[in-house]
Amino acid sequence: MKMGFALAMAVAITGQVLYHFMQKQMPPGAHPVLALMGFYLAAALLSLPLFLLFPLTTPLTQAASELGGAVWGVAAAIVLIELGFLLAYRAGGSLSSAFVLSAAAVATALLLIGLAVFKEAVSLKQLAGLALCLAGIWLLSGNRPAH
């Protein structure tokens, strides 16, 4: 199944909204490590039917061998993201600003990594966006009301 950029982004955005809404709904007493393990088990089960949309074109062992070592880096990133937001929401982080603060910081970091590591060109428009991200981080991280 070939998916256009707009549809792919709609799927990602829907997932992000559902993700943060459901993270905020996690019971405060739920053990964080068990919660993470539950997330991943449920995600694995929910991923299986996706083979109907994206069937394997090579044997499973060959397809698995093509994943490479990056899968461990992505897995580590997922654990950090999940645990970070779970703990942030438990610490009183608001649904309206926790992700925005994170996204602005990530956008800033990725722009700089793209420039330094991948030698990606940075336009004046992107630098203006970076300035807005930094301003957003500053605005979101200041004087939060008590929860």
- 29 in a structural domain: yes
- 146 in a structural domain: no
- 51 in a structural domain: yes
Residue 107's region, left for phi above 0, alpha for psi from -120 to 50, else beta, is alpha
- 136 in a structural domain: yes
- 83 in a structural domain: yes
- 44 in a structural domain: yes
Task: Compute the distance between CA of residue 116 and CA of residue 113 in angstroms, rounded to an integer.
Answer: 5
- DSSP class of 66: T
pLDDT for position 147: 52
- Which pLDDT tens digits describe the chain residue by residue (147 residues)? 567 999 999 999 999 999 999 999 999 999 999 999 999 999 999 999 999 999 999 999 999 999 999 999 999 999 999 999 999 999 998 888 888 889 888 988 998 999 999 999 999 998 998 898 888 888 877 765 555
- 147 in a structural domain: no
Amino acid (1-letter code) at residue 8? A
- 34 in a structural domain: yes
The parent domain of residue 10 ranges over 5-141
Reported residue count of the chain is 147
| Number of domains into which the chain is organized | 1
